[in-house]
Structure 1
Amino acid sequence: MADLRRSLEEFLERLDIDTTCTDHPEVFTVEEMMPHVAHLSGAATKNLFLKDKRKKGLWLLSARHDRRLDLGEVSRRLGLGGGNLRLADEAALLETLGVRQGCVTPLALFLESARAVTVVLDRDLTDGGHQRLYFHPMTNSATMGLKPDDLLRFLRETAHEPVLLSLD
């Protein structure tokens, strides 16, 4: 994972994207992560790697860490019909993003050359006035912060135009 993190950092440096990074013990849930990042100014995120059970599409959903998510409602808002989004299995996660469960992050999209993943961002992440947004940098033993505009630029540079969806 250290090599993947370094590759991400180099990619972000080439884009001239300023980041901050906090190392911490390995965590597997947002709840485990929060004591290590509560001092940071901005929005910690939770990230879900999903599949559409009908069309077999892949989705990466990012929302503020404390946001309650109803996947049925998200599915309906995306025009997929209710109840069609499910968590993708770890094999799909490894094959598509190169990370394992507990490390899901939109930052892994710099490795996803097939452009098979649709990114969905809670509109609050980009329009909520957050100083920084925090994601795992390819490993769940660190948390990386970047400005909302830089996240959008990163996604566009990797050819992943995000769907901005209000999850209120």
Structure 2
Amino acid sequence: MTDNSPKTRDDLLRFLDGLGIAHSTKDHPPVYTVAESVSLRDEIPGGHTKNLFVKDKKDNFFLLTVEENANVDLKTVHTLIGAASKVSFGKPEKLLEYLGVIPGAVTAFGAINDTGNNVTFVIDAELMEHDIINCHPLSNDATTSLGSGDLVRFMEATGHTPLVLKVTG
């Protein structure tokens, strides 16, 4: 019998270690919004992320990872990411099923839980200009920092090839 429960923060950090990816994690009180997390900026340098879990009418799911202050036009982003139609937000049940996280803890690191390749991961090109990218390590009570190229390497190691596209306005 296989264990289908989502990977934990410790599982994620061990996976990064196994890939030889340098990373650091800072614990903090749980944050649910970008506004709540702004107080951490002085302590954690680099690009901070905002994640949008969306789907099209054919139930194709996408995770858009962008810089926290960037704007994504949900009326037109489908033309950039290859969606079949305009996108809407995915339901929390699918977020948990596919990425193993709850709303408020959405992260590119959720790729480690998407063993069925149900989600297309899109990283905004402007975010990739940062040397360091910060993401929740599958929970919103910590922030894990790693190199932007290492984020792509992590995703590839989980069987995903992220699309690096300019999706912000």
Is TM > 0.5 for Structure 1 vs Structure 2?
yes
Distance in 2 (alpha carbons) for counterparts of 1:59 and 1:79: 10
Structure 1 ranges of 4+ moved more than 4 A = none
- What number of residue pairs does the alignment pair up? 162
The separation in 2 between residues aligned to 1:33 and 1:137, in whole angstroms, is: 14
Aligned position for 2:43: 39
Unaligned runs of 5+ in 2: 1-6
TM-score (norm: length of structure 2) = 0.90
Relative to the length of structure 1, the TM-score reads: 0.91
Map of 1:1-168 to 2, 5 A cutoff? Answer: 4-52=8-56, 54-80=57-83, 84-126=86-128, 128=129, 130-166=130-166, 167-168=168-169
User: Cα gap change, 1:38/1:47 in structure 2, threshold over 3 Å: closer, same or farther?
Assistant: farther
Q: Is the 8 A contact 2:65 2:124 kept in 1?
A: yes
Describe the superposition over 1:100-126 as per-residue Cα deviations: whole angstroms up to 9, x where unpaired: 110101102112110111001101122
Distance 1:155 1:81 in 2: 23
> Is the Cα–Cα contact under 8 Å of residues 123 and 165 in structure 1 kept in the other structure?
yes
Taking only aligned residues, the RMSD between alpha carbons, in angstroms, comes to: 1.4
Match of 1:46, as an amino acid? Answer: K
Larger relative helix fraction: 1
Give the direction of change, closer, same or farther, for the CA distance of 1:79–1:10 in structure 2 (3 Å limit).
closer
- 2:76 counterpart SS class: helix
